[in-house]
């Protein structure tokens, strides 16, 4: 009787065992199918989300960035043009300190618009911290825009000079412009300033180039980016301020638009 029981148990076990791996296999297949369906569902939702975002931004204006702006190098032609423009505008080259004081007293020259956004080199003598009124307005615009972008001031290293000072500078600086003639330094009229590049990041320098370029193209300034002295030499013309009303409103906008694209 006991042998019969063992025989029945063995037969039942033999019948059940082949079905067990099949059950496990079907369970695994079902699990993988569920995972696959979930993956497909997630990808479909993600694709739909990206498509919706793309459609939502399709009509928005694209903002291109500028990774590099080439240097605004000076040239002999540029220096000739600066002197020709200054002569055409009737600007006088300041001979000595006496004439410099006279121009300052009469308001022909105004103080550099120093502010938290615009510093003046501490080594620059007090009587040479002056420039033409339109140059002062240019400096205020540039400093304001730069400070709004970077939260740091720019610095003026040089402004008005006299012929006497320029002659002395020629003797100690081989790169100094002449004190007279067609290639004379534009600083002698008070219309030119030097903005120091020392301490500026690559991004700031690229931004400066992009801000200045439209103004130079429009004939309102001339820029000579110097590397030995590490500065932007900028001569500002009367039409920076005396442009027609509509053009004057567009003046800072054009520079700000290009400068804003600097990456």
pLDDT recorded at residue 169: 83
Q: Is the pLDDT of residue 57 over 80?
A: no
Confidence tier at 247 by pLDDT (50, 70, 90) = very low
Mean confidence (pLDDT) of the chain: 80
Q: How confident is the model at residue 179 (pLDDT cuts 50, 70, 90)?
A: confident
CA angle 11, 12, 13 (to 5 degrees): 90
Q: Percent of the chain having pLDDT more than 90?
A: 53
pLDDT in tens, 182-192: 888 999 999 99
Burial of 70 (0-12, 13-18, 19+ CB in 10 A): exposed
**What's the pLDDT band for 170 if we cut at 50, 70, 90?**
confident
Rounded Cα gap, residues 50 and 44, in angstroms: 10
């Amino acid at each position: 009787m006991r042998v019969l029981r063992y025989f029945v148990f063995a037969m039942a076990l033999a019948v059940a065992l082949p079905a067990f791996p099949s059950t496990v296999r079907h369970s695994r297949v079902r699990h993988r199918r569920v995972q696959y369906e979930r993956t497909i569902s997630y990808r479909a939702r993600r694709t739909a989300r990206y498509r919706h975002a793309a459609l939502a931004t399709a009509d928005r204006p694209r903002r291109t960035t500028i990774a590099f702006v080439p240097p605004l190098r000076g040239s002999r032609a540029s220096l000739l043009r600066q002197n020709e423009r200054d002569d055409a505008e009737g600007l006088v080259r300041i001979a000595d300190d006496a004439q410099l004081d006279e121009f300052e007293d009469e308001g022909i020259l105004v103080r550099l618009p120093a502010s938290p956004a615009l510093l003046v080199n501490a080594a620059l003598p007090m009587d040479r911290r002056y420039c033409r009124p339109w140059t002062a307005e240019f400096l205020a615009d540039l400093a304001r825009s730069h400070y709004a972008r970077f939260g740091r001031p720019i610095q003026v290293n040089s402004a008005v000079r006299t012929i006497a000072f320029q002659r002395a500078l020629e003797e100690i600086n081989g790169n100094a412009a002449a004190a007279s003639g067609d290639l004379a330094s534009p600083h002698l009229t008070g219309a030119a300033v030097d903005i120091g590049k020392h301490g500026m990041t690559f991004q700031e320098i690229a931004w400066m180039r992009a801000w200045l370029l439209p103004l130079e193209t429009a004939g309102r300034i001339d820029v000579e980016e110097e590397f030995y002295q590490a500065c932007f030499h900028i001569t500002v013309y009367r039409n920076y301020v005396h442009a027609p009303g509509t053009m004057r409103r567009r003046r800072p906008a054009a520079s700000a638009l290009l400068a804003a694209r600097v990456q």
